Amino acid sequence: MSVVALQSSHPSRASSLALLIAVTGVVYGDIGTSPLYTLREVFAGPYGVPANHDGVLGILSLIFWSLLWVVSLKYVLFMLRADNEGEGGVMALTALARRAAAAYPRLAGLLVLLGLFGTALFYGDSMITPAISVLSAVEGLEVVLPALGHWVLPVTVVLLIGLFLIQRHGTARIGIFFGPVMVSWFCVLGALGVHGILHRPEVLEALHPWWAANFFIAHPGIGIAILGAVVLALTGAEALYADMGHFGRRPIAQAWFGLALPGLLLNYFGQGALLLADPAAARNPFYLLAPEWARLPMIGLATLATIIASQAVISGAFSLSHQAIQLGYVPRMQIQHTSSAEQGQIYIGVVNWALMVGVLLLVLGFGSSGALASAYGVAVTTTMLIDTLLVSAVMLLLWKVPRWLALPVLLGFLLVDSLFFVANVPKILQGGAFPVIAGIGLFTLMTTWKRGKENLFERLGETALSLPAFIDSVRLQPPHRVQGTAVFLAARTDVVPHALLHNLLHNQVLHERVVLLTVVVEDTPRVPEDRRFQVDGYGEGFYRVVLHFGFMEEPDIPDALRLSHLEDLDFSPMRTTYFLSRETLIPIRNIGMAYWREALFVFMQKNANSSMRYFQLPANRVIELGTQVEI
């Protein structure tokens, strides 16, 4: 009995260990590479913090308590509980907050706008993370081999271009190495940290919060502004929440407290110990902490770690774009699945090339990780603040947590997030405008697309014919009926699609079975099969079918209809024809949005992926009928 139990426990332990390794590789790449540049920016950057006893202990205390409060408490122990049926991230949280505020339309609208802006800022962060991470790793050449310092930029550019070029082939094959590399990275971080701490153990005094408070007293000129550098140690915290759908809350928490957090803290304190012994090491305390013989291998390991961190951010941008497309905030784009086994392995070419251009412009424009650090933090702190506001609505309105219990916690999160945000505002004038401008631009695109689609539906609805009236007219004056099933895609469930009217007008025929199909994307990640279909029969061979999908699912219409098992309907491929409406938009002044936004919407509509590809319809069974619409 005990032997059987022991043997059966091995696979469980092995699978749990494999999951923890995978979590480390995907989730903690960004925050795990922060030691490369955080303390260097504090002591050798523009802040002018002296690398003396009080300065070092004060900064280390701020980093220690920030990691505990923001990452450990807020994200790992709190935010991971705010899941949307297992999914996390700002887009999933926005859907959850909108549901929570459904009884308050204005508040719901405001929360959606906040979520969209947080989503837009993520893309700005997705450009800065690969640029600063890979650049800071390659800059180790300047420490180990100063004569090769002029190769830093070319090598960084080549590595980044190669990273974006391999995206279309997927990362399933090389992804198996991500976890072991990052586990090795955190172990090396911890080992180097212990090596430094043993030489100056007094650095552990920084665990006391008094040193954090004393820093503000001893350095009144720097004040809150230093948090703009401390926040570099927190970049990547949002990834804990965004990747919850892939791994679950428990493995993410276990990997954080068991490996990532100890490795980070030991390395920061080890770098601090080095600065206490040699303040001149502030020029690059990360690499100078390593023994001279280990610095060149450290460059290789750091480069691998930063590439993995960049890959995680890029994959996150693909996933977030997919969610935004499903929820109707972004035009449809062609999505390529790079793995037949993993549903989440996708590639979106438009997003990939846009990110590559942005990353290369940042590397060539700023030229060093130190200069990029001045731009880093604005998008991160704004997203953290938005997360707090959204989860506040969820906690108070959806979970119904008593205010006496919820408000102290939420106000604490809000206060710390606000301090970090205020500290990073001056960075907008020091290069931090880039993620802000990128975020505003993307926010404008998303809101224009959403509002444009609403205006389009309103204009189409003005001339639409109600379905009961149309069926009555067919009953009184029956047209010629042909064999087969005609599926007409319609955005609204109460009117006749324009494609159906045009088909009857020009071809003078109707199929023996006419299905008016509407696809609804819910604000939940997935919809169970028993709630996928909603079918109503109207007589005269007319049926209304509503297909429900979650925002993480692929809307494959033929496959969904094939699995519907509707006895009265035959959806066999050779007997089913799909009819689509293609609108030609004409922007008109003084109607709907501002004219420039209407023109922008028309441009996005023209370049959006077709409904045929998006809904995975067979090309040889699709008929498109066009109409002109003034918006």
Please report, as a single letter, which amino acid is at residue 296.
L
Give the pLDDT score at 113: 93
Determine the distance from the C-alpha atom of residue 235 to the mean position of all C-alpha atoms in its chain, rounded to a whole number: 14
The amino acid that residue 274 corresponds to is: L
SS (H, E, C) 394-437: HHHHHCCCCHHHHHHHHHHHHHHHHHHHHHHHHHHHHCCHHHHH
> What's the distance, Cα to Cα, between the start and end of the chain in Å?
74
The number of residues in the chain equals 631
pLDDT computed for residue 171 by the predictor: 62
Q: Which residues of the chain fall below pLDDT 50?
A: 1-11
Query: What is the C-alpha separation between 190 and 482, in angstroms, rounded?
Result: 74
Contact predicate 593/451, CB 8 Å: yes
In this predicted model, what pLDDT tens digit does every residue of 459-496 receive, in sequence order? 887 777 888 888 888 888 889 999 999 999 988 878 88
The answer to whether 514 and 593 are in contact (CB under 8 A) is no
Distances (CA, A) of 446 to 11, 325, 441, 496: 46, 10, 9, 28
Phi/psi for 162 (5° steps) reads -60, -40
The most distant pair of C-alpha atoms in the chain lies apart, rounded to whole Å, by 95
Q: Is 375 helix (H, G, I), strand (E, B) or coil?
A: coil
Eight-state DSSP code of residue 587: -
**Could you give the angle at the alpha carbon of 469 between the alpha carbons of 463 and 475, nearest 5°?**
135
Q: How many Cα atoms sit within 13 Å of 292 on the Cβ side?
A: 1
CB 255 within 8 A of CB 400: no
Q: Find, among 532, 538, 482, the residue nearest to 515 by Cα.
A: 538
Q: Bridge partners of 623? A: 579
Return the structure tokens found at 196. 């430094």
Compute the Cα dihedral for 58, 367, 121, 307 and give only its sign.
negative
C-beta of residue 180 within 8 angstroms of C-beta of residue 21: yes
Tokens for 516? Answer: 């008016």
Other beta carbons within 10 angstroms of residue 416's beta carbon come to: 20
Beta strand 509-521 with 480-489: parallel, antiparallel or unpaired? parallel
* Burial of 291 from C-beta contacts in 10 A (0-12 / 13-18 / 19+): exposed
Output the CA angle 69-71-75, nearest 5 degrees.
Answer: 105
Alpha-carbon gap, residue 389 to 386, rounded angstroms: 5
